[in-house]
């Protein structure tokens, strides 16, 4: 069976991955990739490294790994860089994070020590619990502690991207947000609905409606880099950024890495819906002790995360589809900062369901996970796949990457609804790969 011809460009040369944030997730991601390409670790959990896609039917049916289906960048061709509010290099940050054992970091110590974070474009009002001083200062004032204007941030970040690409000899670049959750920024029609208005707000230093993350995204897209938002921030899920992505012919994806509790929810809720069982309530709570938990301990930052986590269930179990089963169920999400647990997050889900003749039942799920261990392969997959999308000429929101994201982007201005159903997301992912590989889309379950 011969695939159709495709216009996907080959993955030649170096792929630069610039990460916003040099914390637990970023250093676990970088260390794992560096260890894997030395043959000292396995990239377990990565779809791009392990999953297979069926193509063809009958006698022509085959199962192909992603790299057999489409040209993905090799782990050997990845070059890492980062920004962070703390100046420690990636080795120091990995040790400090206490996610990985020292023996799993030392073999790549030299490589990690060479990854020194650039000064971050940072506004403490958006993450009050962070106190790092490795931040950009305004060059247009004598005050040594002056926060750059939003437009200055953009210009500085663009310069960083160009310099990194040139110094490291990268052919292509991806910018990935793996930093903390910013405070909740409500979408504002006057600022966020057109590129012209967004640029004007940046130039007028509108610090209420323009989050620092928007400066990173804007700089990345203008410099020809796909951008992935790994937190629930209001960043690229606004019409102005969609317009910029179209203008620059760059792909974007977001938001919020889907790792622990929401992964379980997006996979388990379809069981309830498919079996036509009713739902009275779903209570979710978490304890987390790393830097992410510290930031989320501030109500304004937690609100951003809460909106992201709440959206999953409401798009899977919908009252308009089954009013007898899903009308007025109670859904609550909590995250509690608990320092002793560090990166080892624990989540509890209490699910009250009802069945035949309205008789009540309960389901309890206790997930003791390692947050960064689950996030690292998601980072890898998102970077490799959005680089693929760019080489395939795809631009704007990449809905096929919803599988990896907690609150997938969608065009809410046209009444579009996010797809949160895990198995539908997996089908979307496989069909996008089939299309880019020259095969026909297929809805049949494997």
Question: Percentage of the chain with pLDDT > 70?
Answer: 96
Distance CA 370, CA 83 (A): 24
Given a cut of 90, is residue 139 above it in pLDDT? no
* H-assigned helices in 223-354: 239-248, 261-274, 291-296, 299-314, 323-326
Given a cut of 90, is residue 318 above it in pLDDT? yes
Q: Which of 191, 203, 205 is nearest to 241 (CA)?
A: 191
**Cβ atoms of 22 and 86 closer than 8 Å:** yes
Position of tokens 């065009």? 411
Given a cut of 80, is residue 309 above it in pLDDT? no
Given a cut of 70, is residue 4 above it in pLDDT? no
Q: Among 1-5, 114-118, 258-262, 418-422, which is the least confidently predicted range?
A: 1-5
**Cβ atoms of 404 and 412 closer than 8 Å:** no
Distance CA 70, CA 392 (A): 10
Distance CA 345, CA 1 (A): 46
Mean pLDDT within 201-216: 97
pLDDT of 389-410, one tens digit each? Answer: 999 999 999 999 999 999 999 9
Mean pLDDT within 93-109: 97
Mean pLDDT within 123-138: 91
Distance CA 234, CA 412 (A): 14
Given a cut of 80, is residue 291 above it in pLDDT? no
**Cβ atoms of 266 and 425 closer than 8 Å:** yes
Distance CA 390, CA 395 (A): 7
pLDDT of 355-369, one tens digit each? Answer: 999 999 999 999 999
Q: Give me the pLDDT at residue 303, please.
A: 77
CATH topology of domain 14-257+373-437: Rossmann fold (3.40.50)
pLDDT of 184-206, one tens digit each? Answer: 999 999 999 999 999 999 999 99
Given a cut of 70, is residue 3 above it in pLDDT? no
Distance CA 145, CA 11 (A): 42
Q: Which helix H or strand E contains 165, and what residues bound it? A: helix 150-168
Q: Give me the pLDDT at residue 89, please.
A: 98
DSSP symbols for 283-306: EEEEEE-SHHHHHHTSHHHHHHHH
Instruction: Give 257's DSSP letter.
Output: B
More confident position, 354 or 309: 354
More confident position, 201 or 298: 201
Sheet with strand 78-84: strands edge to edge? 118-119, 78-84, 14-20, 170-177, 227-229, 251-254, 396-397
Given a cut of 60, is residue 142 above it in pLDDT? no
Distance CA 364, CA 385 (A): 35
Q: Give me the pLDDT at residue 302, please.
A: 75
pLDDT tier, 129 (very low <50, low <70, confident <90, very high otherwise): confident
**pTM recorded for the entire structure:** 0.94
What are the angstrom distances between the C-alpha of 296 and each of 8, 205, 209, 221, 446? Answer: 40, 26, 20, 28, 39
Residue 249 neighbours by CB distance under 10 Å = 13
Would you put residue 98 in left (φ > 0), alpha (ψ -120 to 50) or beta? left
Q: Which of 374, 373, 391, 399 is nearest to 15 (CA)?
A: 391
**Cβ atoms of 115 and 80 closer than 8 Å:** yes
Mean pLDDT within 273-302: 87
Residue 169 neighbours by CB distance under 10 Å = 10
Would you put residue 61 in left (φ > 0), alpha (ψ -120 to 50) or beta? beta
Question: Percentage of the chain with pLDDT > 90?
Answer: 83
Residue 367 neighbours by CB distance under 10 Å = 15
Distance CA 118, CA 219 (A): 15
pLDDT tier, 422 (very low <50, low <70, confident <90, very high otherwise): very high
pLDDT tier, 445 (very low <50, low <70, confident <90, very high otherwise): low
Class of domain 261-368: alpha beta
Q: What's the angle, vertex CA 252, arms to CA 34 and CA 159, rounded to 5?
A: 70
Q: What is the residue-averaged pLDDT of the chain?
A: 93
Q: Quote the radius of gyration of the chain (alpha carbons, Å).
A: 22
pLDDT of 41-77, one tens digit each? Answer: 999 999 999 999 999 888 889 999 999 999 999 999 9
Would you put residue 432 in left (φ > 0), alpha (ψ -120 to 50) or beta? alpha
- Can you point out the beta strands (E) in 21-123? 52-55, 62-65, 78-84, 118-119
Distance CA 269, CA 318 (A): 11
Q: Give me the pLDDT at residue 311, please.
A: 79
Q: Strand 52-55 relative to strand 251-254: parallel, antiparallel, unpaired?
A: unpaired
More confident position, 5 or 139: 139
CATH 3.40.50.720 domain position(s) in the chain: 14-257+373-437
CATH 3.30.360.10 domain position(s) in the chain: 261-368
What are the angstrom distances between the C-alpha of 384 and each of 63, 173, 177, 266, 310? Answer: 20, 11, 14, 23, 28
Q: Give me the pLDDT at residue 432, please.
A: 97
Q: Give me the pLDDT at residue 199, please.
A: 98
**Cβ atoms of 420 and 315 closer than 8 Å:** yes
Q: Among 168-172, 238-242, 283-287, 397-401, which is the least confidently predicted range?
A: 283-287
Q: Give me the pLDDT at residue 6, please.
A: 78
**Cβ atoms of 168 and 144 closer than 8 Å:** no
pLDDT of 73-82, one tens digit each? Answer: 999 999 999 9
Q: Which of 20, 30, 246 is nearest to 153 (CA)?
A: 20
């Amino acid at each position: 069976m011969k695939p159709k011809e495709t216009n996907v460009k080959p993955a030649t040369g170096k792929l630069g991955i610039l990460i916003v944030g040099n914390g637990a997730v970023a250093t676990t991601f970088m260390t794992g990739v560096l260890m894997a390409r030395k043959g000292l670790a396995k990239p377990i959990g990565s779809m791009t490294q392990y999953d297979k896609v069926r193509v063809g039917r009958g006698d022509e049916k085959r199962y192909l790994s992603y790299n057999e289906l489409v040209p993905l960048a090799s782990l050997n061709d990845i070059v890492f860089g980062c920004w962070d509010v703390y100046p420690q290099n990636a080795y120091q940050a990995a040790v400090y994070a206490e996610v990985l054992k020292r023996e799993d970091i030392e073999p790549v110590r030299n490589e990690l020590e060479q990854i020194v974070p650039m000064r971050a474009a940072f506004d403490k009002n958006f993450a009050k619990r962070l106190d790092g001083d490795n931040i950009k200062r305004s060059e247009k004032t004598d005050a040594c502690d002056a926060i750059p204007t939003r437009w200055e941030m953009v210009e500085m970040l663009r310069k960083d991207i160009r310099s990194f690409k040139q110094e490291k000899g990268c052919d292509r670049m991806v910018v990935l947000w793996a930093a903390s959750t910013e405070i909740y920024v409500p979408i504002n029609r006057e600022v966020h609905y057109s590129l012209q208005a967004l640029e004007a707000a940046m130039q007028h230093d509108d610090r209420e409606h323009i989050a620092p993350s928007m400066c990173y995204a804007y700089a990345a897209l203008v410099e020809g880099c796909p951008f992935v938002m790994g937190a629930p921030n209001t960043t690229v899920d606004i019409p102005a950024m969609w317009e910029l992505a179209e203008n620059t012919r760059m792909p974007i994806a977001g938001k919020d890495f889907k790792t622990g509790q929401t992964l379980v929810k997006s996979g388990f809720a379809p069981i309830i819906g498919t079996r036509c069982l009713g739902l009275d309530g779903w209570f979710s709570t978490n304890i987390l002790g790393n830097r992410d938990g510290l930031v989320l301990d501030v109500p304004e930052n937690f609100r951003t995360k809460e909106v992201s986590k709440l959206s999953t269930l409401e798009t899977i179990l919908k009252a308009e589809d089954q009013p007898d089963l899903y009308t007025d169920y109670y859904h609550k999400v909590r995250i509690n900062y608990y320092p002793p647990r560090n990166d080892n997050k624990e989540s509890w889900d209490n699910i009250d369901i009802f069945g035949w003749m309205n008789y009540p039942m309960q389901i309890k799920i206790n997930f003791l996970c390692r947050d960064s261990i689950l996030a690292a392969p998601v980072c890898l997959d998102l970077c490799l796949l959005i680089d693929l999308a760019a080489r395939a000429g795809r631009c704007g929101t990449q809905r096929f990457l919803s599988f990896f994201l907690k609150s997938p982007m969608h065009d809410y201005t046209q009444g579009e609804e996010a797809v949160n159903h895990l198995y539908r997301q997996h089908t979307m992912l496989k069909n996008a790969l089939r299309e880019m590989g020259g095969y026909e889309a297929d809805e049949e379950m494997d």
